[in-house]
Amino acid sequence: MLNHSSAFKLSDDDALILDSIEKWLERDVQPHVLKFDHADEYPHEIVEQMKELGLFGATIPAEYGGLGLSATTYARVIERISTTWMALSGIINSHLIMAACVARSGTEEQRQTFLPRFATGEIRGGLALTEPDAGTDLQSIRTRAVKNGDHYIVNGTKTWITNGIEGTCFALLVKTDIDANPRHKGMSMFIAEKGEGFTVSRKLEKLGYKSIDSAELIFDNYRIPADRLIGLEEGHGLQAALGGLELGRINVAARGCGLAQAALQDSVKYAQMRKTFGKPIGEHQAIQLKLGEMATRLQAARLLTYDAARAYDTGERCDMEAGMAKYFASEAAVSNSLEAMRIHGGYGYSKEFHIERYYRDSPLMCIGEGTNEIQRIIIAKQLIERSPV
Ligand SMILES: Cc1cc2nc3c(=O)[nH]c(=O)nc-3n(C[C@H](O)[C@H](O)[C@H](O)COP(=O)(O)OP(=O)(O)OC[C@H]3O[C@@H](n4cnc5c(N)ncnc54)[C@H](O)[C@@H]3O)c2cc1C
């Protein structure tokens, strides 16, 4: 189904990239999604193809070996991938947020050492922020790094870490000063590669977002060289994490658009095939009302997402815009997948169709990269800050 957002045209080069991703998804991914999702099996072969397509370097600047895509093009790529299989986008999303943390807050030496290896997918990983007792309130994390000569010794637990099992390197948020006031001044971020003292304690089982590993990570006297401290200065960890999350929120919004699109396009097709009372269900007004709402919701979500990406690309402040896009597009995914299930009747509940997968995958978009409760609080705070009396 066509994407009608003509207000946000891609360059010819970017359109070519999107076209090759589209062909790859149709040929090599779509036929296998149900099998992988139902078996909760990691798609190793597909990940190798993602490396060849350059997706692990999608937003890494070209001077460090990446594709250097703008956030706008990246959002379109993620939306398209998520229309076929949302979980797949999780493999590159947190990996690219880790890369964005290094690109934005790292030293030139750290950029040169890590970004080219992230770009090829030689090192893959993600973002290790959340802990068993700290998600939204990141400033209350307990993982601690204590300086010891030219190393730090890290102890603590991280949970829900995407790519935790298959990945080898993580942007790790820790406390370097537990008494700092304000608390964020005692927070730092490291580029942490797996090794002695850094282990995976368990794989976490989930409602949806299958096949992609979510894990708990344990740091037990893990020694990390001091030159892995991002920016080489303590106290800037939260800032580095939040900077990366803007791109992350645009990505989650794009994933929401992809899921909302998938639910709509399957429904438009089914509404023409399934007949009741002598005519296709798409000719009953009750179904038409649903399709009309689903399509409008999707288009609004898309416009918010592309606008937030445009603001990110031009360097404008976009925390409110990314928050609005993430909030609206994730709720659109949840609503569209539920409506798709109603339109499909009993078949919507069947594992032979993709609808029940959209329904299981969508709610994660409301939780990850800051819950939707927090997004609305960010929007309100920004409204007041940008319009002082
Ligand atoms: C599948 C999956 C993958 C994930 N991947 C990663 C990853 O790769 N890396 C990573 O670091 N984390 C990851 N997470 C963790 C995710 O970011 C957190 O779950 C999320 O930030 C929410 O934190 P929490 O679960 O601790 O909820 P809590 O912070 O305990 O929140 C519970 C509820 O209280 C609400 N709430 C909290 N504070 C406020 C407030 N001030 N005002 C109003 N409401 C509030 C929340 O909105 C929520 O509804 C993942 C989670 C899942 C489920």
Mean pLDDT within 149-164:
98
DSSP 197: T
Mean pLDDT within 302-316:
95
CB-ligand 1 contact for 140 (6 Å cutoff) = no
| Shared-domain flag, residues 134 and 105 | no
Cβ atoms 247, 312 nearer than 8 A: yes
Instruction: Give the model confidence (pLDDT) of 188-216 as tens digits.
Output: 999 999 999 999 999 999 999 999 999 99
Those residues with Cβ within 8 angstroms of residue 231's Cβ, 6 or more apart along the chain or in another chain: 105, 106, 107, 110, 240
| Shared-domain flag, residues 340 and 255 | yes
Domain stops at, among 84, 101, 120: 120
Ligand 1 closest atom vs CA 133: 26
Question: How many domains are contained in the chain?
Answer: 3
| CATH number of the domain encompassing residue 314 | 1.20.140.10
| CATH number of the domain encompassing residue 143 | 2.40.110.10
Helix, strand or coil, per DSSP, at residue 72 = helix
Confidence of residue 2 (pLDDT cuts 50, 70, 90): very low
Helix, strand or coil, per DSSP, at residue 41 = coil
Peptide bond into 182 cis (omega under 30): yes
Q: Considering the entire predicted model, what is its pTM? A: 0.96
Cβ atoms 355, 337 nearer than 8 A: yes
Active site residues per annotation: 369
Domain stops at, among 208, 238, 268: 238
| Shared-domain flag, residues 306 and 207 | no
Mutate to test the pocket of ligand 1, among 124, 367, 381 (most ligand atoms within 8 A of CB): 367
CB-ligand 1 contact for 160 (6 Å cutoff) = yes
Ligand 1 closest atom vs CA 130: 11
Q: How far is the CA of 370 from the centre of ligand 1 (A)?
A: 6
Give which of 274, 278, 254, 282 is closest to 368, Cα–Cα. Answer: 254
Asked whether residue 1 is assigned to any structural domain, the reply reads no
The pLDDT value given to residue 364: 97
The pLDDT value given to residue 242: 87
| Shared-domain flag, residues 197 and 217 | yes
| Shared-domain flag, residues 184 and 303 | no
Instruction: Give the model confidence (pLDDT) of 231-266 as tens digits.
Output: 999 999 999 998 877 888 999 999 999 999 999 999
Instruction: Give the model confidence (pLDDT) of 32-41 as tens digits.
Output: 999 999 999 9
CB-ligand 1 contact for 251 (6 Å cutoff) = no
| CATH number of the domain encompassing residue 111 | 1.10.540.10
By CB neighbour count within 10 A (0-12 exposed, 13-18 middle, 19+ buried), where does 329 fall?
buried
Q: How far is the CA of 169 from the centre of ligand 1 (A)?
A: 22
| Shared-domain flag, residues 297 and 367 | yes
Cβ atoms 253, 303 nearer than 8 A: no
CB-ligand 1 contact for 363 (6 Å cutoff) = no
The pLDDT value given to residue 243: 81
Ligand 1 closest atom vs CA 127: 9
| Shared-domain flag, residues 264 and 225 | no
Adjacent-strand bridge partners of 171? 127, 191
Q: How far is the CA of 242 from the centre of ligand 1 (A)?
A: 14
> Could you list the residue range(s) of the whole structural domain that residue 91 is in?
12-120
| Shared-domain flag, residues 167 and 279 | no
CB count within 10 Å of CB 6 equals 7
Domain stops at, among 238, 257, 282: 238
CB-ligand 1 contact for 129 (6 Å cutoff) = yes
- E-strand ranges in 226-345 read 275-276, 279-280
Confidence of residue 296 (pLDDT cuts 50, 70, 90): very high
CB count within 10 Å of CB 232 equals 13
